Amino acid sequence: MTSFEPACLPTALGSLPFVDPAEACRLMTQSFPAIPAWPQLPKRTYLENMYVQFGEGLPGSVVGDERIYVNSYQIDASLEALYTAYLAENIDIGAISPTFAAGLACFLGMKEEVVDCTAVKGQITGPISLGLQVTDQARRPILYDDVLADALVKHLQLKARWQERELRKLCPQTIIFLDEPYLSSIGSAYVALREEQVMACLAEVLEGISGLKGLHCCGNTDWGLLLNLPIDIVSFDAYNYAIPLSLYSDSLKPFLHRGGIIAWGIVPNTAEALARESTASLVDRLLAAMGLLVDKGISLDEIVERSLITPSCGLGTLSVEIATAVCAQTAAVSQHIQTRYRG
């Protein structure tokens, strides 16, 4: 675990509704100067959809008609290239091109703008969500095919390692989140995956990340299971799911004690919810959420020291105006908490 203590600094979860990567990067660096994140831009092109963006270069992948799938009949050469690169630790094969991530390319050129930052944050779609969304030619999720699932995990580890290497050129302290919305479906009748498979896939991708490792799920999930993973940061929708997370206090206590960090997604990512809230009401809501853990015997000082403040989820589907307001509100909540508890 890490000695990194963010003390309720704010950061973002990734997606923004801009089509101009420079505008998106400016918002990130201005709203979150201590921990800026590179922006995913799904409205710029469908290639920046979170399920397409990190499928670039996946063996057998075919991108077209605003979807990505794997043709398992035309995979041998690219599969061999992937395993050769993986075994040789040639992470250049995991490069993320400007065509699929213009925000990342722009962000990597902003060394002067992030010179005083504490950390820089990146993100990658996790193997469970990507493996359930990307299908083979028969529309069967590739996570249900042992060969394709193993290739996916190694592909994503190389993507994460390449991204981390490039971000480290901006700042020595990096944070990489695995974005895993489909973890909220694990154990349901709709997802036929064993817990062992889920944990093994996640662990192998995380193994390739040497900086801070985060796991984000915007729905309800089995946090007790996931807190056993080698992660430094657990990121969740605190606006809607504070009570479910508090039920796992027995797992959160040792997680925090060994240096773990909670990223509280307290600022809602819908226009309707945001209109109902103010900085004061969101601070009250956050403190109430933290209080659920205090009631379970976790020190508020420890929680504050080992917390990040974020939006509840990505902002890519919103208007530019609302997304900008969410970022401003996230920074404001963070500032209020830091002033109140750290002087």
Residue-wise pLDDT for 272-324, tens only, equals 999 999 999 999 999 999 999 999 999 999 999 999 999 999 999 999 999 99
Residue type, 291: G
Q: Is the pLDDT of residue 15 over 70?
A: yes
Summarised one tens digit per residue, pLDDT across range 204-227 is 999 999 999 999 998 889 999 999
Confidence at residue 189, expressed as pLDDT on a 0 to 100 scale? 61
Q: 191-209 in b/e burial notation, b at 16+ Cβ within 10 A?
A: bebeeebbeebbeebbebb
Tally Cβ neighbours within 10 Å of residue 339. Answer: 9
Banded pLDDT at 1 (limits 50, 70, 90)? low
Predicted local distance difference test score (pLDDT) of residue 22: 98
- What is residue 64's predicted lDDT score, i.e. its pLDDT? 84
d(CA 107, CA 167): 9
8-state DSSP, 282: H
What is the CATH code for 9-342?
3.20.20.210
pTM to 2 decimals?
0.95
What percentage of the chain carries pLDDT values higher than 70? 98
251: nearest Cα among 238, 266, 262: 262
Give, for 236, the enclosing helix (H) or strand (E). Answer: strand 233-236
Angle at 10 between CA 5 and CA 16, to 5 degrees: 140
CA dist 253 and 264 (Å) reads 16
DSSP lists the bridge partners of residue 135 as: 69, 141
Q: Is the dihedral of CA 195, 261, 208, 157 positive or negative?
A: positive
| Beta pairing, strands 174-179 & 120-125 | parallel
Contact 21, 118 (CB under 8 A): no
Q: Give tens-digit pLDDT for 138-189.
A: 999 999 999 999 999 999 999 999 999 999 999 999 999 999 999 988 766 6
Model confidence over 187-201: pLDDT tens digits? 666 777 888 999 999
Residue type at position 263? A
Q: Which residues contact 331 (CB under 8 A, 6 or more apart)?
A: 10, 31, 32
Burial class of residue 341, CB neighbours in 10 A (0-12, 13-18, 19+): middle
pLDDT mean across residues, the chain? 95
Contact 24, 41 (CB under 8 A): yes
Q: Are 51 and 134 in contact (CB under 8 A)?
A: yes
pLDDT digits (tens, 9 = 90+) for 237-260: 999 999 999 999 999 999 999 999
Query: Dihedral of CA 229/92/50/170: which sign?
Result: positive
Spatial CA neighbour of 16 closest among 114, 94, 101: 101
For residue 246, give both structure tokens. Answer: 């508090």
Domain boundaries in the chain? Answer: 9-342
